[in-house]
Amino acid sequence: MKKISTTWIIIVVLAALGLWLWSGYNGLITANESVKTAWSQVETQYQRRFDLIPNLVNTVKGAADFEQETFTQVTAARSQWQSAGSRGEQIAAAQNFDGALGRLLVTVESYPQLQATQAFRDFMVQLEGTENRIATARRDFNESVQLFNVRVKRFPTNMIAGMFGFDEEQFFEATEGSDQAPNVEF
């Protein structure tokens, strides 16, 4: 009789341990997939922006005589995004593009005749909407990363994360100096 109750205790403990591993692993998978989904939303919004920018640049080129360097920086930053392989490279490319786009928009402010054209105003409205979508997608991505990283770090799930190779994800952070407006001189 005593042997049967010891066997049952061992079975119950092993079953509880198995359920804990199963639940912890599935929770990590769910959180990791949330991070991937949130990142795909960021990518979608950046792609929208990168598809819109050539039209904006061409409109600006047609209406004003800008320094070529600004256009070159925007084009180079767009190309960097398209050739980026990893998420980290994409984040760096997006941050470079943010700076180049900021310089373009500051430059545009000096051309009132450009701001008066309907095509330019239309592109600016689309760009503003896209920028708002990007900000929302970045925020959602960072929230997903936070939830995932908490799971990876919190005991006892951190043991499961370590066993199955789950590592912390990188947040999308603003670049240093992004709080300063770009300086454009003519």
45-49, 59-63, 125-129: least confident range: 59-63
Residue 185: what pLDDT?
43
Cα 106 from Cα 84, distance rounded (Å): 27
The pLDDT tens digits for 140-171 are 999 999 999 999 999 989 999 999 999 999 88
Residue 182: what pLDDT?
46
Residue 146: what pLDDT?
95
The pLDDT tens digits for 44-53 are 888 888 888 7
Domain residue spans of the chain = 2-164
Is the pTM here over 0.85, yes or no?
no
- Residue 15 scores a pLDDT above 50: yes
CATH 1.20.1440.20: does it fit domain 2-164?
yes
Residue whose tokens read 């309907």: 118
When pLDDT is averaged across residues 62-76 and rounded to a whole number, the result is: 68
Helix (H, G, I), strand (E, B) or coil at 30: helix
- What DSSP string runs through 6-65? HHHHHHHHHHHHHHHHHHHHHHHHHHHHHHHHHHHHHHHHHHHHHHHHHHHHHHHHHH--
